[in-house]
Chains A and B, each alone.
Chain A
Amino acid sequence: MKNVIIGIISLLLLLIMIGSLSSCAKSDEYPDNAPEHSNNSKEIEIKKIAGTITMAGSTSMEKLANALSEAFMEKYPDMLVSAEFIGSGAGIEAVLSSTVNIGNSSRHLKETEISNGAVENIVAIDGIAVILDKSNSKNDISMDQLKKIFTGEINNWSKIGGENQPIVVIGREAGSGTRDAFEELLGIEEKCKYSNEINSTGGVMAKVASTPGAVGYVSLDVLDDTVSVAKIDGTEPTEEMIKAGSYLLSRPFIMATKGEISNQTLEIQAFFEFIKSEEGKELIRRIGLINVD
């Protein structure tokens, strides 16, 4: 059975390659003669990969999921990939109850989820950036100070060499993947003392940008110049630093499936192949995330 599937996949990939080659040829060299030829191979392609893939899950993965599904649909015009953003937990719940094909999670799966049959497929790595409001002169925080800030031990910037300005700790609501990942990475689960709990990444950005002395956390790819980004232990959250392992606040982006990828439908397998392809990797890089390997 497995051999058959692998056979089909390789045949499929071959066809895709021929298809893309022929369409290249068409546009480059033989604008008039080619259509008949490319139509043929395309027909086979359509037969093989046509259908729908549904995703649901983490709001942090919205950019990634949208970019991947758009590019995938461009490559396979007969595929319809739709994504909903309802939060990591709900996404995995949805994939386990088979209401969607893929559950997006911006945190590692919990043991109960894995024992229920969810499989963790890491597709990219995201860094979490600690953001400060622009007027804050302090922009280098140590991991230890960060822990103390978020647990309420340090509540004024002057205590760690900044101005005499109270610290306003902005966080996400309970259940948020970003919050789970952040607290887990710092080892301060259940100890955080937030003065604001905001239910969206954009909300955190806006609140930090407009509140003097505020500190918050967001995923790397939403950063813009309305806030300033803190260095952690002297390291900026850049791809090189995260890949090298010197920036410590990073987390996986997971597209969970119910059962292994090899047990999924051909369309879903093709989707994961696409993510792993050079094209997919380039896409992940372009939206500010980091490839797995």
Chain B
Amino acid sequence: MSEKSISIVGSYKTKNTVEKTAAFLFVICAFVAVLAVLSITIYMIVGGTPAIFEVGLKNILLGTVWKPTASEPQYGILYVILTSIVGTILAVLIGVPIGVMTAVFLAETAPTRLSALVKPAVELLAGIPSVIFGLLGILILNPLIYQLEMAVFKDNPNHQFTGGSNLISAVLVLAIMILPTVINISESALRAVPSHYKQASLALGASHIQTIFKVIVPAAKSGIITAIVLGVGRAIGEAMAISLVAGNGANLPLPFHSVRFLTTAVVNEMSYAADTHKRVLFTIGLVLFVFIMLINLVLNKVMKGGIEDVNS
């Protein structure tokens, strides 16, 4: 009797209700993420489009002058978009080789003791808040880059000195910040390569290094590409650290120019912006959102492509 009263399935009827309620709850939980994405998408479109009609899409996307508070305001973000693209590509070019090599080291060649030292360090790097990277950038990286800048532009009277807050600093900080993502995902991919691939290669007489680069890395290709695409996502979405080290001038992305990324353009001026200026910042957010969506689409394509590769 007492046993029966404890059980939630007291009778056929209650059982049915419980089952149905549970199923309903699960459906709701499952849709939370979908709802979040949907509402963000709708909000970005609603928030970002008014300025497009006010200023004109062409003026925003192809304009090169950013003077939001001038008496005749100009809202051109072409340089900002270019900076995001160039900065991200450069950061990936630096960060990915280092990251993939570290992953190879961790998965294949590292002695256990050394790997026990490197692995936690990589995980810790992922956990460090981005503002810390920014502060270190200001304190250590910027003065160094400023020295370099002064050496390079010693006899150039027309160069506007940035004090080290420029594209190079930003790219270096970004490159370090994408490392954990790239390393962790590449390492999982490398470890997932079936061990008989390696054994077969070694049995055919290939050396360990040959096996790594001719067999294991190609076999883990799709995972490594995923790592790269996620790294791109992280680099393009990073704001805090970059806003501290990049100088935030809306300039053409050349190495010693003070530059502004899509993220920092929003972050930096949001607090003081009003009217059209604020709405254009939402449009910049929309542009960034479209970028992230494109990257995700590419990611999905690449992952599907990767699976087909394995099957063929």
Q: Using CB atoms and an 8 Å cutoff, list the residues of chain A in contact with chain B.
A: 59, 86-90, 92-93, 152, 155-156, 166-170, 173-177, 180, 189-190, 193-199, 203, 206-207, 210-214
Contacts and interface: CB of A to CB of B under 8 A. Distances in A.
27 contacts: A86-B271, A87-B271, A87-B272, A87-B273, A88-B272, A166-B150, A166-B153, A166-B159, A166-B161, A167-B161, A173-B248, A173-B268, A173-B269, A173-B272, A174-B269, A174-B272, A174-B273, A175-B68, A175-B269, A189-B71, A190-B70, A193-B160, A195-B247, A196-B248, A196-B258, A203-B244, A211-B142
Contacts of B165: 195-196, 207
Contacts of B146: 211-212
Interface in B137-171: 138-139, 142-143, 146, 150, 153, 157, 159-165
Given A174-B67, A210-B143, 12 more contacts: A59-B271, A87-B271, A152-B160, A155-B160, A166-B153, A175-B273, A196-B249, A207-B138, A211-B146, A211-B163, A211-B164, A213-B161
A41 B131 CA distance: 53
A111 to B, nearest CB: 12
B267 to A, nearest CB: 8
Given A173-B272, A194-B249, A196-B249, A155 B162 contact: no
Contact of A168 (B71, B161, B243): B161
A104 B69 CA distance: 19
Nearest to B272: A175
A194 to B, nearest CB: 6
A10 B140 CA distance: 61
B209 interface: no
B138 A206 contact: yes
Given A167-B161, A173-B268, A210 B71 contact: no
B262 to A, nearest CB: 15
A4 B164 CA distance: 63
A138 B154 CA distance: 21
B274 A89 contact: yes
B163 A199 contact: no
B279 interface: no
A187 B139 CA distance: 34
Given A155-B161, A168-B161, A206-B138, A195 B258 contact: yes
B209 to A, nearest CB: 45
Interface in B250-275: 258, 260, 267-269, 271-274
B271 A210 contact: no
Contacts of B157: 155-156
B254 to A, nearest CB: 13
A175 B73 CA distance: 12
B161 A197 contact: no
B194 to A, nearest CB: 51
Q: Which of B153, B267, B268 has the most CB of A within 10 A?
A: B268
Nearest to B248: A197
Contact of A90 (B143, B153, B267, B272): B272
Interface in B195-234: none
B274 A214 contact: no
B248 A174 contact: no
Given A174-B277, A211-B146, A168 B271 contact: no
A196 B274 contact: no
Nearest to B135: A206
A196 B277 contact: no
B279 to A, nearest CB: 13
Interface in B84-123: none
Nearest to B158: A155
A173 B246 CA distance: 13
A155 B267 CA distance: 29
Contact of A199 (B138, B249, B258, B268): B268
Contact of B163 (A155, A189, A207): A207
A59 B260 CA distance: 23
A199 B244 CA distance: 9
A163 to B, nearest CB: 13
B264 to A, nearest CB: 9
A196 B143 CA distance: 14
Contacts of A189: 70-71
A157 to B, nearest CB: 11
A199 B67 CA distance: 16
Nearest 9 interchain pairs by C-beta: A175-B272, A89-B274, A87-B272, A168-B163, A166-B161, A211-B163, A197-B248, A190-B70, A195-B162
